A = this chain, B = another copy of it.
Amino acid sequence: MELLKNELAEAQKIQKQSSMKTHNFSAGPAILPQSVIKEAAAAVQNYAGTGLSVLEMSHRSKEIAAVMDEAEMLVKDLLGLKDDYSVLFLTGGASSQFYMVPMNLLNENEKACYIDTGAWSAKAIKEVSNFGNVEVLASSKETTYNYIPKNWEVPSDAKYLHITSNNTIYGTQFHNIPETDALLIADMSSEIFSREIDANKFDIIYAGAQKNLGPAGTTLVIIRNEILGKVQREIPTMLDYQTHINKNSAFNTPPVYPIFVCLLTLRWLKAQGGIKAMEAHNKKKAALLYNEIDSNPLFKGTAALEDRSYMNVPFLTANPDHEAAFLEYCTANGISGVKGHRSVGGFRASIYNAMPVSSIELLVSLMQSFKPE
């Protein structure tokens, strides 16, 4: 134990000397590219030579209208979306999509189907009954959501199927997109833009920005236009997707700065080579980390091998008594946000697009050099 303390003190000293670079493994709000952070700070001081902070500029100004337009255009471009989609930047988080989806799509006598793959799926399911019928086709709740259920069927009378395509807390991911005749809706909050997916197979994709796209404060919602306008109920103006489609997300004052930082991230993503390049980068990072988890006897993974996420990597110390010491060792070496969610315990490395390979290498090297008492 004394040795460990010495080792920690030494590590802390080195960390201090290296100007305290922090490696951000937080699940969200999460890491952003360093170049984005730099541009985002500069725009707060003075936006594009206007003499104004981007924080105090009218959303009706030509500069901010251009930000909104370019962000929308880049989403369409990066995902290869066909013309019949609208791209919205809304507020209220993915949590607000949990009720906006059934409110906009489901009549009272119609049925929506859900796959329950985690806490966020469960929260989405809870909101449906206000608007129509809900059927949970499969759930992995009994095993703390450590796998993606397979071999379920969507009934022919389903209006839509809803999946949470990546499960932040449990580190599982749908590696095959379900085929269905029903509308297909996905919460992609923790994986949007991280891998090649045929986005045109979906009718709604939504994602809170603060995991893989930008800071907290806006939610990306992608909608196939023709699915709207088919429910009987009166929808409050602000909750009707059509309101925001008609006004390019500026029916009321949009969250300008969060959207602006999303735009900076989208530009960065495109400059990196787009989603194809990002997928290769993410698979490389995930492989490095999973290889260490699987080969190092001090650690073990929690999710079913075939369903492992490329974005969120939960793992445990083989001996639970070593948990606190490894967390301290990580912290002393500039690793932040790696503590696991309370429902899984242990550790969770969230390795979103903006996470460089060097941060994964540091974490792996710490797993290798970790010497529990």
Q: A residues within 8 Å of B by Cβ? A: 20-22, 24, 26-32, 37-38, 40-42, 44-45, 49-53, 55-59, 91-96, 98-99, 103, 123, 126-127, 130, 208, 210, 214-218, 234, 236-239, 251-258, 261, 334, 336-337
Partner of A251, one of B95, B214, B237: B95
Q: Verify A52–B257 contact, CB threshold 8 A.
A: no
- Chain B residue numbers with a CB within 8 Å of A103 are 236
- Chain B residue numbers with a CB within 8 Å of A126 are 237
Partner of A127, one of B40, B94, B237: B237
Q: Verify A256–B217 contact, CB threshold 8 A.
A: yes
A214 closest partner in B (C-beta)? B55
- Chain B residue numbers with a CB within 8 Å of A127 are 236-237
Partner of A21, one of B51, B98, B218: B51
- Chain B residue numbers with a CB within 8 Å of A336 are 50-52
- Chain B residue numbers with a CB within 8 Å of A37 are 44-45, 53, 55-56
Q: Verify A337–B58 contact, CB threshold 8 A.
A: yes
Known: A27-B58, A40-B53, A257-B258. 7 other contacts (CB 8 A): A22-B51, A41-B41, A41-B42, A41-B45, A55-B261, A59-B216, A93-B252
Q: Verify B99–A238 contact, CB threshold 8 A.
A: yes
Partner of A44, one of B40, B210, B214, B239: B40
Each complex incorporates copies of this chain amounting to 2
Partner of A255, one of B41, B53, B255: B255
- Chain B residue numbers with a CB within 8 Å of A96 are 92, 238
**Contact A258/B30 with A41-B44, A53-B37, A127-B236 known, Cβ cut-off 8 Å:** no
- Chain B residue numbers with a CB within 8 Å of A95 are 237-238, 251-252
Q: Which of A57, A236, A239 has the largest count of B CB atoms less than 10 A from its CB?
A: A236
Partner of A130, one of B40, B236, B253: B236
Q: Verify B51–A20 contact, CB threshold 8 A.
A: yes
Least Cβ–Cβ distance between A370 and chain B, in angstroms: 22
Least Cβ–Cβ distance between A134 and chain B, in angstroms: 14
> For the complex, what is the distance from the CA of A92 to the CA of B45, rounded to whole Å?
26
A126 closest partner in B (C-beta)? B237
Q: Which of A251, A252, A253, A254 has the largest count of B CB atoms less than 10 A from its CB?
A: A253
Shortest Cβ-Cβ A-B pairs, 6 listed = A22-B51, A217-B255, A91-B91, A99-B236, A41-B44, A55-B215
- Chain B residue numbers with a CB within 8 Å of A210 are 253, 256
**Contact A238/B21 with A45-B41, A56-B30, A254-B216 known, Cβ cut-off 8 Å:** no
- Chain B residue numbers with a CB within 8 Å of A94 are 252
- Chain B residue numbers with a CB within 8 Å of A216 are 59, 253-257
- Chain B residue numbers with a CB within 8 Å of A28 are 58, 253
> For the complex, what is the distance from the CA of A251 to the CA of B123, rounded to whole Å?
12
- Chain B residue numbers with a CB within 8 Å of A57 are 26, 29
- Chain B residue numbers with a CB within 8 Å of A237 are 95, 98-99, 123, 126-127
